[in-house]
């Protein structure tokens, strides 16, 4: 079974508590909203306490960070909002159907205008493809 951990850090730098939480629950995918943690610091903390295995797939987004165990497969960015607030990633899972993971850290009344105004769309290969 695939497990997820989501945490809105409110711009706090909590790499060590994140690592302890990951060690306790061993999630396959970690999604951080409004993280104050540099991704390199998060990877160092996560992999030092959980015996390695977490990666940080590259992203143009800035407000959402997704970390995944290497056993999950690949994490492919499908959609981002240029300010980095909205992200959709595809988890390509070995021997299981793919999963779309969407994170939207915004007020509901802002969502429609942000998507319509400045969206970037990506096809299955990650290339830009807006209609």
101-125: pLDDT as tens digits: 888 765 555 555 555 555 555 555 5
Q: Above pLDDT 70, what percent of the chain? A: 76
Average pLDDT, the chain: 81
Cα separation of the two ends of the chain: 36
Tell me the domains of the chain and their CATH numbers. Answer: 4-121 (3.60.10.10)
Nearest Cα residue to 119 out of 60, 71, 72: 60
Q: What is the pLDDT of residue 129?
A: 53
């Amino acid at each position: 079974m695939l497990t997820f951990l989501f945490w809105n850090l409110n711009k706090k730098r909590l790499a060590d508590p994140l690592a302890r939480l990951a060690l306790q629950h061993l999630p396959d995918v970690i999604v951080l909203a409004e993280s104050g943690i540099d991704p390199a610091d998060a990877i160092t903390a996560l992999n030092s306490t959980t015996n390695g295995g977490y990666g940080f797939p590259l992203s143009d987004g800035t407000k959402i960070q997704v970390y995944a165990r290497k056993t999950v497969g690949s994490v492919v960015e499908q959609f981002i909002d240029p300010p980095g607030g909205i992200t959709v990633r595809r988890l390509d899972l070995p021997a299981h159907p793919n999963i779309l993971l969407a994170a939207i850290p915004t007020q509901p009344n802002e969502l429609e205008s942000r998507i319509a105004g400045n969206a970037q769309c990506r096809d299955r290969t990650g290339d830009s493809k807006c209609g």
